[in-house]
Structure 1
């Protein structure tokens, strides 16, 4: 018998991707419901070869829903996730609302699937930040081998991480450059077309941005609280796919060849690392794919036991929708949940 799944925020970039991936992976759902705010009621969204009409979250009865994939933003999740969890539905939330809650597991299945069993306190599981998700997939097998002490990461994050309006802004600004029209900034603090912006989210008192803070804190929670991490997060004029330049310092020796061999067999990783033009992954290749692509693996001679690598992933998939559905699969495969509906 299958499960009943609700997708909240079904009209957004990530919500639509969740519906696509549920179908692609043949998720064992007997019924999938698309939910959003009242203004989106009646909007049609695709689920495989079917069309779903969006219903209002505010009036929905979750009493027979097994899993809720929540992708409607932090304020909506803060209000609704506890209510939905109280109805006996497991909420897998894509916002930052619950990530640092000690009673809510923060899960990347390739890294810390065992922690998913801790969801029962609140019936909520958190999905990490998109830039964190791909990073820890790459770090985990290396940490197991040589123990990571410190990470310095610079991100090159696509506009889709800021939503559909951000993608529209990049498109309209790019068009304006070619037509010599006025360039209007609405979503971003500076022009994004043919430019890069060294700010994602708001600034904090220490000069880091909230996005950078998320990467630091979430990596500690998911992987190891002893790891020291410094991040610089940058928005770039790419539609889909986040890239990261990662400098890693280990406690124990590890060579580039060892790292390459370890990552080639690690879950969720795909190594493309030829020392030639084009022998590496870019966001273009990663878009629409599930893997975290890893390239440019090399030793860092400036520190003892240091490596440098480049990793790229589709932020709408592994960074959000795919990871959430993989969490749901962990719950089912490990028999941590059972369907509410009883066979007739």
Structure 2
């Protein structure tokens, strides 16, 4: 016997990836529903290699009798339909920012804090921001060893983090630049082709952007409320894959070999650090992969007990869809959901 799973926002980039990963990982499914807005109703979408699903209308869908709802349809949509699904008895894993900082909603990365799933009293679990997920997976083993007290991170985030429209804008602007046509902006505040934009999400009163704020507060909620985090988030002309340059300051003395061993043994982390040409992982190499890759590991001599490294991951997989599916898998493994 398997579970009845509905994917909300199935036609989006993350929704499609969720369907793909459910099939790849052979999640125990008896019934699967692909949900989207009325304009997509009746269209077909792939589930695995052999099955095709017809899109169902989210607005009229009856959630009763379904076990999981994996949601990635935008915060305003989740605000309406996630509570409806939860009230109908579904476990909702929400990939938007809407519920993340609510105190009674667990914010979960299964390799980091799976125990938090036991606190899902409202039947809603939040999936963290993509840039936060890959960072905390890498930070967890280092925090256990050295107790991190401060994190400084600069991100190099792919246009895929802004969805298909973001990737299309990079493609169209790049093409226009190369053939001498005028550049059209739509999704981003400045030209993204051949450029970097130090601005993701809205500006806040203190000068940080909301993306930077998310990395700060989410890291504290997931890993440790006492960790200080300062982030600078930058959009770069890459289709898929976020890169992060991370420096940590710890309470305990840092030992480089112990750090290497901990990262090698950590769930969800692959250490590839050769200290030579090509001895590191870049965004394009991480695309399509599940892990958070750590490279360029070195002691930071400018602060006591400092360590610096480079981290990359596929923002659509581990940064969104894969983590969503892993949360559902962890709920099953911990016997936290019963089949309808």
Q: What range is the shorter-chain TM-score in?
A: over 0.9
Give per-residue Cα distances to partners, 1:253-281, cap 9 Å, x unaligned. 11222211110000000001001110000
Give the corresponding residue for 1:255: 255
In 1, Cα distance between equivalents of 2:126 and 2:9 = 16
Q: Look up the SS of the partner of 2:92 in the other structure.
A: strand
Q: TM-score under structure 1 normalisation?
A: 0.98
Q: Structure 2, unaligned stretches of length 5 or more?
A: none
Please provide the CA RMSD for this pair. Answer: 0.6
CA distance in 2, matches of 1:43, 1:228: 47
User: Paired residue for 1:52?
Assistant: 53
Counterparts of 1:272 and 1:298 in 2: how far apart (Å)? 13
SS in 1 for 2:113: helix
- The aligned residue for residue 317 of structure 2 is 317
Secondary structure at 2:260 match in 1: helix
Q: CA deviation at 1:317?
A: 0.6
2:165 matched residue in structure 1: 165
Partner Cα separation in structure 1 for residue 37 and residue 267 of structure 2: 36
Q: Deviations over 1:110-135 (max 9, x none)?
A: 0000000111x211000000000000
CA distance in 1: counterparts of 2:246 and 2:255, whole angstroms: 15
In structure 2, distance between residues paired with 1:32 and 1:287: 26
1:42 aligns with 2:63: no
1:33 aligns with 2:33: yes
Shift of 1:57: 0.3
Q: Does 1:183 align with 2:187?
A: no
Q: Which residue of 2 aligns with 1:86?
A: 87
Cα distance in 2 for partners of 1:42, 1:285 equals 36
| CA deviations over 1:234-264 (Å, ceiling 9, x no partner) | 0000000000000000000112222111100
How far off is 1:64 after superposition?
1.3
Q: 1:270 & 1:45 partners in 2: Cα distance?
A: 32
Report the alpha carbon displacement of residue 42 of structure 1 after superposing the two structures with TM: 1.6
| 4+ residue segments displaced more than 2 Å | none
How many residue pairs match? The answer is 339
Equivalences for 1:224-243 in 2 at 5 Å?
224-243=224-243
SS at match of 2:85: helix
Alpha-carbon distance between aligned partners in 1 of 2:283 and 2:53, rounded to the nearest angstrom: 30
2: distance between equivalents of 1:276 and 1:142? 23
Aligned counterpart, 2:307: 307
Alpha-carbon distance in structure 2 between the residues aligned to 1:257 and 1:237: 34
Corresponding residue SS for 2:293: strand
TM-score w.r.t. structure 2 length? 0.99
Measure the CA separation in 1 of the matches of 2:184 and 2:319: 28
Q: Provide Cα deviations, 1:41-86, integer angstroms capped at 9, x if missing partner.
A: 1221111021111111000011011000000010001111111100
Q: Tell me how far apart the structure 1 counterparts of residues 43 and 271 of structure 2 sit (CA, whole Å).
A: 40
Q: Distance in 1 between matches of 2:58 and 2:123?
A: 18
Provide Cα deviations, 1:218-248, integer angstroms capped at 9, x if missing partner: 0000000000000000000000000000000
The aligned counterpart of 1:204 is 204
2:153 is equivalent to residue 153 of structure 1: yes
Give SS of 2:229's match: strand
1:86-125 residue pairs with structure 2 within 5 A? 86-119=87-120, 121-125=121-125
Per-residue CA distance 1:160-200 (angstroms, 9 max, x = gap):
00010111000000000111111100000000000000000
